[in-house]
Amino acid sequence: MNRRFEMFHYRQVLLRRRQGDSDRDIARSKTMGRRKLALVRETASNRGWLAPDTPLPTDAEQAEVFSRDSMAALLPPSCVSPLEAWREQIVQWHAAGIQGTTILSALERNHGYRGSTSSIYRFLKQIKAGEVPDVPMRLEFKPGEAAQIDFGAGPTLTDVHTGEIHKTWYFVMTLCWSRHQYVELVRDQTIATWLQCHRHAFEWFNGIPERLIIDNPKCAIVRACLYEPEVQRAYAQCAEGYGFRIDPCPPRDPQKKGIVESGSQVRKEQLRAAARLPRPRRRQPPGTRLGHGRGRRSHPRHYAPAASGQLHRH
């Protein structure tokens, strides 16, 4: 297992070497292994950092000398991954979201690489260790405050009698506080279908959230805009009648409704898997309501309709 060392580890090694400790003494304290200590000692000795009368190097100087690339040049050939020859290309593929098995196939096809899949994943792990992690922002909501909606492509269904292939879409509404979810499979993305799915979801939840966070589908938003999005007229009338507020996400920024996006990926895989199963005895036509993810029996314990039609916690 490769261990990642910080600059203060190297600084502690330099201090102890100046105090007269041997590699064996330092390795006994679990600070660093003896092989690594030998490389650090040789590098520091060549630069004069072990002399007591010289100042210790700064963190920037240590980072320049003890970086992965610099230390890899001091390792024997048996300890250097053969993937180092294509590091730049692998980093670009990894940044583009290409999977490790696909990278392995490309290296085998283009460069004749004969390594294992584990070597690819070990190399990608080293790349990830040097990356700055993305810090997500947690979305906090009160009970009944908001729901998020996704309207994405579903599986293609084949009519067993005529052989006709039908394209489908799935409508997903997720309550932001409880994560209860309603899913409906439909055959089109028309305005009438969009409004009908809203009505079915409100009937299923037995209430209406105060705010609906949506993407920018044409059946809801005529013109997507960061500051003044233009809402479709029928949808605006629907919001006025039910008493909810439309809150579209900024263009090309679906992370603002990450709750329903993450749940939609699970539902999408379930629907695709169901489409590959044998046909049941009784078929349900498209437009069948699939319900939410946690079962209807648990729903009344979290929400109950008030006189205004809003959702409230018991």
Count how many Cα atoms sit within 13 Å of the Cα of residue 306 in the half-sphere of its side chain.
Answer: 12
CB–CB of 235/229 below 8 Å?
no
CB–CB of 88/69 below 8 Å?
no
Query: Which residue is associated with the tokens 């004969």?
Result: 114
CB–CB of 247/221 below 8 Å?
no
pLDDT of residue 307: 33
pLDDT of residue 8: 78
pLDDT of residue 296: 40
Provide the sign of the torsion angle of the four alpha carbons 246, 247, 251, 253, taken in this order: negative
CB–CB of 209/250 below 8 Å?
no
pLDDT of residue 210: 92
Could you tell me the strand order of the sheet in which 245-248 lies?
Answer: 245-248, 211-214, 146-153, 169-175, 181-186, 289-291
Greatest CA span in the chain, whole angstroms?
90
pLDDT of residue 198: 94
What single-letter amino acid sits at 258? Answer: G
Helix ranges (H only) for the chain are: 7-18, 23-28, 34-46, 59-65, 68-74, 87-95, 100-111, 117-129, 191-205, 233-242, 258-275
Listed in sequence order, the residues at least 6 apart from 28 whose beta carbon sits closer than 8 Å to its beta carbon are none
**Length of the chain as a residue count:** 314
Tally of CB atoms within 10 A around 67? 11
Distances from the Cα of 125 to the Cα of 4, 116, 293, angstroms: 11, 15, 34
Count how many Cα atoms sit within 13 Å of the Cα of residue 104 in the half-sphere of its side chain.
Answer: 14
Residues of the chain with pLDDT under 70: 1-4, 67-80, 136, 252-258, 260-314
